[in-house]
Structure 1
Amino acid sequence: MELTETDLTIATEKGTLRVPLHEVHRAKRVPPARRPPAADVIALELAANDAWPAPTQSRLGSWILRAAGNWTGRANSALAVGDPDRTLEAAIDGVVEWYAAHGQQPLINAPMPLAAPVNAALDARGWTARPLTLMQTGPVAPLLTTIPAHSDLPPVDLADTPGDDWYAMVAEHKGTLPPTAVRILTGVPEVVFAHVRDTDGSLLAVARGAVTGPGRWLGISLLQTAPAARRRGIAQQVMRGLAQWATQRGSTRAYLQVEERNTAAVALYGRVGFSTHHTYLTREAPAA
């Protein structure tokens, strides 16, 4: 927070907000919640990048420039962590030039509060923001104890490769999967694909798990349940199955990424021990 003779400037997760003093009737400084160390945020973001590997990547200092034919924001945005090895304004210019050379709209993934200066600079340039995403983390072991094994539910089958119907269910949520999507989903050394089938063979739920990084993080993604199979505990059973697989590979911590506005999913993850480690915004450059 910054106070001048004319304005009150407040730092928020979505950037900075300047309020004229004559519009402020009452103010109170609230102590910030405990923030994770910058090194922990960077390590987790790099593990998540390894788990969702864009086929085209380049470096701008420590920033990672990623392109994957516009399939998902994560794989097609510059990850603004660490030192870009130039001024912030020059780094943003470099991102714009790189994406222009690849025929894509410039996007920047800005973890908060680590990248608050980046977000403030992008605000000044008129960049817009997609919905806030929560990077949530939790221990793996409680997933095996807090989620009971239900013998009346179909089993969770874990496979090294996804089936055609697995891809089809994901496409219902993520849109048509181009070849780059398949490369992202399967291009990790330690990856597994969860399938839950009904007695007639129809697919009830899917998910993907990947173990990456020096911290052996389990990344849970693409957890989806067919509408007719919801509210039966199947999603939790899938998470339990992924936790068993990851435990065998030395993983003790898990993460997932969920939009803040997806309140149902946030509530589900909270019930099994996940909480928000940090947040991030995907920023979009204004149209040329």
Structure 2
Amino acid sequence: MTTKTLFGYGPGPDIPVTSAAALLRDAVRADDGGLDLISVTDHPYEGDRLEAYASLGAILGRTSKISAVATVTNLPVRPVPLLARTLTSLSALSGGRIVLGIGAGWRWDDIVRFGARELSPAAAVRSLEEGIILIKRLAGGGEPVTFEGEFHQVTDLAPAPVPVPRVWTGSVGPKSLAVTGRVADGWVVPHAADWSSPLYRESRPHIDDAAAAAGRDPAEIATIYNVLGRITADPLPSTRDESGRWIGGSAEQWTEELVLAARDHGANGFFFFFFDSDDPRSDLTLGRWTHEIVPAVRAALA
């Protein structure tokens, strides 16, 4: 069962090439501050943005303890065997500090512009499941793998002699959520929805039912949240807007809410997202998340 609550941060949905220095600076600060994870997004069709896996490699090279993940890898633009080799190589180079975040595909017009073939929603989900299975088979050592799937094929390919990485999906929709239950290790809740949202309440049972049907313990599949909101000097009158979405508050209000999420709603991890690493205020925001809120939540949960 997943027992440790993970804390990370994401420097925004798309990181401009011009923000490369800020990305690496903040990664080092997060590593020194004891955060568990840093996440980047994967939109390789944007020429003015940093590519996800190049960014992960640079981050892991600059840090010593923090793990890194793309939330989530755009599977349709990446050959699965090569993605598997990228992951196992990053794992070997970093001492196992890589997590695979993966999705079935998003923004198909852009994916097609990038040169990949468009898939129907049902086919994309089948490709996702095949891809996760093959990536896991191409790690952990053992006998050569031959895989003849509908979308992915390899012949007599030796697995890398490194452990199988954790696999988290960004699944949306019952069929994709069921894939998470059958073959993944965690779920990054999409659209920055939180533990009190209808999206979470309606989606998680699909994962649990599929896991149980596959003979897995649903509790082994982590639930990870992207949390957005302000960290304010003083408490806010309300920490949620009229729709019920979390908007933030003081460090004490954040602490109370995240402890509730972990204890009462089974949250296994949180990524704090902010959107402009070059904004001078980001230093203060990341610092308060790292040095005030995260230690307070960890102490309360301990």
TM-score by length of 1: 0.27
Q: Tell me which structure has the larger Cα radius of gyration.
A: 1
Under a length normalisation based on structure 2, what TM-score does the superposition of the two structures give?
0.26
Relative to total residues, which structure has the larger helix share, 1 or 2? Answer: 2
Higher relative contact order (CA 8 A, sep 6+): 1
